[in-house]
Amino acid sequence: MKIGIVGAGRLGSAFGLYATRRGAEEVGYYSRTQASTVAAASLVGDVGRVYTDVASLIRESDWIVLTVPDDEIPEVVQKLAEEGDVEGKLVFHMSGAASSEVLLPMKQIGAHTASLHPLQSFADGCSGADKLETTVFGIEGEVAAVSVLEEWLTAAKNRYFIITATQKPLYHAAAAVVSNGLTGVVDFALHLMAAAGIEEKTALSALLPLIEGTVQNIQEKGVAEALTGPIARGDIGTIVRHTEAIAGQAPQLLENYQMLGRLTLATACQSQLRDPKRIARLQELLSE
Ligand SMILES: NC(=O)c1ccc[n+]([C@@H]2O[C@H](COP(=O)([O-])OP(=O)(O)OC[C@H]3O[C@@H](n4cnc5c(N)ncnc54)[C@H](OP(=O)(O)O)[C@@H]3O)[C@@H](O)[C@H]2O)c1
């Protein structure tokens, strides 16, 4: 199978290398700049190919993969639809936010269209290809296209689930909350540490094992039972000490502390925290 990738960035490079490891016969790239195109094609070794025009990439490829930034997809789709014959070819993009509907101009001229979203964060081609081995994918699109991708992912031993275009924004919001939201929460914790006089490097190296332990608890026990800490225990005195200290020493952080506390309280109330009086007092302390 020959794969043509438009957009030789982080995910494009990672996916091309992963597809090479999974036996792709050829992985060709077309990108905005020659430097990115050459770098990504070199990464995949002998099967790599550099394209300087999209018409050749379309002609030579069985699969056409779009890994350009989300905002660029409509323009690139238009260009591809105008410059090549995509009839019978599989065309998909890898955005989590957009559905395959954005590929309509290509579907109208006979392409089988889908979106294939990896639930992972990719910083570069090499580490990204390693991560793809255990990545779970969300697939959405035309039945014919989805079934080809299902078959490929099954052979590659990747887990996946199929979603609809309507489900995709909520699905992607969940992925963004977990990945980007966690990063924001860690940054927030570092600000609290800084307010306590603990410098960032020391704080981060202390917090990372705690994050790993928490992820392990979630894996082993599920979300509701994995929750530990003062809110799950209903330790009102501890939350009073937190809010008073933050209000006194870092008042700019209080609102976010309370917002995260309310999220935690909702989880605690699912199974661990049952006392209505404690819940009401915690709600009061965690209200803005
Ligand atoms: N990275 C992730 O963690 C991740 C995870 C899941 C999904 N995705 C999805 O993957 C897609 C790409 O994201 P990314 O993070 O890989 O972005 P990226 O690193 O910025 O790469 C995008 C590439 O597209 C090229 N490009 C931009 N405009 C173009 C155009 N008009 N024509 C041809 N090439 C163009 C850029 O080319 P030059 O380098 O040549 O300028 C760049 O190499 C997005 O849809 C994103 O939502 C990314």
For residue 69 and ligand 1, the question of a CB distance below 6 A is answered with yes
- What are the DSSP calls for 221-236, one per residue? H-HHHH--SHHHHT-H
- Closest C-alpha to ligand 1, atom 48: 11
Query: Measured in whole angstroms, how far is the alpha carbon of residue 110 from the centre of its chain?
Result: 30
Is residue 98 within 8 A of residue 66, CB to CB? The reply is no
- 114 shares a domain with 90: yes
23-38 per-position pLDDT tens digit: 999 999 999 999 999 9
Q: What is the per-residue pLDDT across 68-78, written as a single tens digit (0 to 9) for each?
A: 999 999 999 99
Instruction: Say how far apart CA 32 and CA 50 lie, in whole Å.
Output: 12
Question: Model confidence at 288, in pLDDT bands (50, 70, 90)?
Answer: confident
Return the sign of the alpha-carbon dihedral for residues 61, 63, 64, 68: negative
Name the band, by pLDDT with cuts 50, 70 and 90, for residue 60: very high
Domain that holds residue 12: 2-166
Read off the tokens for 29.
Answer: 């790239």
Q: Is the CB of 6 under 6 A from ligand 1?
A: yes
Across the chain, what does the average pLDDT equal?
97
Q: Specify whether 43 is located in the same domain as 118.
A: yes
Is the shortest distance between the CB of 122 and ligand 1 below 6 Å? yes
- Determine if ligand 1 sits within 6 Å of the CB of residue 118: yes
DSSP string across 35-89: HHHHHHHHHTGGGEEE-SSHHHHHHH-SEEEE-S-GGGHHHHHHHHHHHS--TT-
Q: How far is the CA of 67 from the centre of ligand 1 (A)?
A: 5
**Contact predicate 41/151, CB 8 Å:** no
Q: Which residue has the least CA distance to atom 13 on ligand 1? A: 69
Answer whether 128 contacts ligand 1 (Cβ < 6 A): no
pLDDT tens digits for 170-225? 999 999 999 999 999 999 999 999 999 999 999 999 999 999 999 999 999 999 99
Average pLDDT over residues 216-239: 97
Is residue 135 within 6 Å of ligand 1 at its C-beta? no
CB of residue 121 inside a 6 A radius of ligand 1: yes
Residues 56, 155, single domain; the answer is: yes
What confidence score (pLDDT) does residue 108 get? 97
Do residues 36 and 151 both lie within one domain?
Answer: yes
Domain count, the chain: 2
Q: Report the pLDDT value the prediction gives residue 153, as an integer from 0 to 100.
A: 98
pLDDT band at 259 (very low <50, low <70, confident <90, very high): very high
